[in-house]
Chains A and B, each alone.
Chain A
Amino acid sequence: MSDKPEKFIDENGLRLDGRQVDEMRPMKMELGVISRADGSCYLEWGKNKVMAAVYGPRELHPRRMQKADSVLIRYRYNMAAFSVEDRIRPGPNRRSIEISKVSREAFEPVVLTHLYPGAVIDVFAEVLQADAGTRTAAINAASMALADAGIPMKGLVAACAVGKVDGQLVLDLNKAEDNFGDADFPMTFTQDGEVSLVQMDGNFTQEEFKQAVEMCKEGCQKILGMQQEALRNKFAGELSTDEVDVELIEEDVVEAESDDVDEGAAEPEEVDEDVEESQDDVEDHSMIKADEPEFEEDEPEDEPESEEDEPEEETA
């Protein structure tokens, strides 16, 4: 590990990597990168490289893990052995178990879990290269992968971190700021503006904390914008007609949900079928199919237009 730099912010107010204090590292993302998965996303954020894939909703074994009234979400955050300077032992460790837990809990409030009782949605987030902020990068990728998989959600989730160096709050920590800075405060915002992950260590005054929340919120809003754009780029082309848009927006979410619950409750064993059925929105389906051989992507398409926060794979 390199030594602690003398100063993190130069006289021009720029950070070690030349960024402004409220500037994020460049981020790019690509959807549908793993063809076996139901949804996937490769994301680069500065030097972080992460890959997220979603499988499901699918049948859950062992059956004792099944939840009678909702889908089980499993989230696995995993770092590749070669992702950091000193090789790490492959497999779960206490850190990754904790991160997996809080990341899963960041998505539980947005996924419409009651739609697939007894089933499981598996989210796998692999950190291929780590350079500070891997849990937030993984969450951003996972959020996209869930949308790509057509998982019904209230909205996307975006994550970023705020830290403190030289007594100054900075957005999206780089490696040196992460290692030697005075605070690290990762957070997620949902599209509804709610907070679904909060962790913090280091030291903030209460005033700094308030500012940090605002800073993080702005960062997350930017990320949400990028995520929506990426989804639009993949799916909007297939959605050229206005009719579809209007239909999606007008659809009453509550109604749609209750329909699905009934279906699911009646046939808990056949969740997979339910999925297909519920996604058989004939019109949309065929349109997307043109480009995507696998099934299910009626959801993401409404993600793009959902400036307002009612996505939904629509259904019934």
Chain B
Amino acid sequence: MSNEVMSALKKDYIYNLILKGERSDGRAFDEFRDIELRTNVIEKAEGSAWLKLGKTEVLVGVKLQVGKPFPDSADQGVIITSLELNPIASPDFEAGPPRENAIEMARVADRGIRESGAIDLTKLCITEGEEVWMVFIDVHVLNNYGNIQDAASLGAIAALMTATIPAEREGKGEDSPLPIRDMPLAVTLVNIGGSMLVDPGLDEEAVCGTRITIVSNQDGSISGMQKSGDGALTEEQLLSAVEMACKKASQIREANLLNI
């Protein structure tokens, strides 16, 4: 987020370092920070995940409730994703209604899960037109050191994969795992001085003009994308970013999600 405060000197330093091919924390341009994932950390939630991406931390909780379907999709469950930049996570976040930054991030996260078809919504129908399961995915940002978007995406899919449909509690039969059929993952790259860097840290987010988030699935297909920031990308940058994002996503998936 460019609203983070940083001195011009430090920005210069980071920028010049990148021109020399280095990042301020010593990572390679295509290297993610360390990922630490713990699931089922909140017993009261139907599914949950505590994710650390470097020092960035998010906690994602999944709750399910019985509700009414939308009239135009009477036989399908409902997904509602929310993400807020709580003031606990950064001195730059303020309480109050979400700003455009937070709204954008929440909507990108929501589309990533929805459009990939990761949740089989037809299996969440209880009685067509009357009752369906509503899946609430709430992303709680705890500590912001950059790239909340990717942390939220990984945390969300991990939480969903561990979630149970609480059918007994609601008197709707037996509990069963939430039907998950894909593992969409967002990978964000930033353009600094013409170089594309994955997983921007806080300082890099402050320096970059352009960021692009790409959501890709297990089969390498793309189900979401969003460019953000006041710069532009060349066509080549866009295409190579997509390739890189798919590659990174599959590595992360393999390392963190396949054993859940």
User: A residues near B, CB below 8 A?
Assistant: 1, 94-95, 97-98, 100-102, 105, 108-110, 185, 190, 192-206, 209-210, 213, 217
A45 to chain B, nearest CB (A): 22
Given contacts A198-B212, A203-B116, contact A105 B223 (CB under 8 A): no
Cβ contacts under 8 Å, A206 to chain B = 220-222, 242-243, 246
Given contacts A201-B224, A205-B221, A206-B220, contact A109 B239 (CB under 8 A): no
Cβ contacts under 8 Å, B243 to chain A = 206
A97 to B106, CA, bound (A): 12
B111, B114, B228: the one within 8 Å of A102 (CB):
B228
Cβ contacts under 8 Å, B111 to chain A = 201
A206 to B246, CA, bound (A): 9
Binary flags per residue of B206-223, CB closer than 8 Å to A gives 1, else 0? 000100100001001111
Which chain B residue lies CB-closest to A190?
A: B232
A109, A192, A194, A200: the one within 8 Å of B222 (CB):
A200
Residue from A97, A110, A200 whose CB has the most chain B CB atoms within 10 Å: A200
Where chain A touches its partner, the secondary structure class is mixed
* B233-A203 in contact (CB<8A): no
* B230-A108 in contact (CB<8A): yes
Chain B count of residues within 8 A CB distance of the other chain: 36
Instruction: Provide a sorted-by-A list of 18 A–B residue pairs whose CB atoms are within 8 angstroms.
Output: A101-B103, A102-B226, A105-B228, A105-B230, A109-B230, A109-B232, A110-B232, A193-B234, A196-B227, A196-B233, A198-B233, A200-B222, A200-B225, A201-B115, A203-B116, A203-B117, A206-B221, A206-B242
* A194-B225 in contact (CB<8A): no
* B232-A194 in contact (CB<8A): yes
Given contacts A202-B115, A203-B221, contact A1 B226 (CB under 8 A): no
Cβ contacts under 8 Å, A101 to chain B = 100-101, 103-104, 228
Which chain A residue lies CB-closest to B234?
A: A194
Chain A to chain B: the 5 pairs with minimum beta-carbon distance, closest first: A108-B230, A200-B225, A194-B232, A198-B227, A109-B232
B171 interface residue per 8 A CB criterion: no
A1 to B212, CA, bound (A): 33
- Beyond A201-B224, A206-B246, list 13 extra A-B contacts (CB 8 Å): A101-B100, A101-B104, A102-B104, A102-B226, A105-B229, A196-B231, A196-B233, A198-B225, A199-B227, A201-B111, A203-B222, A206-B222, A217-B235
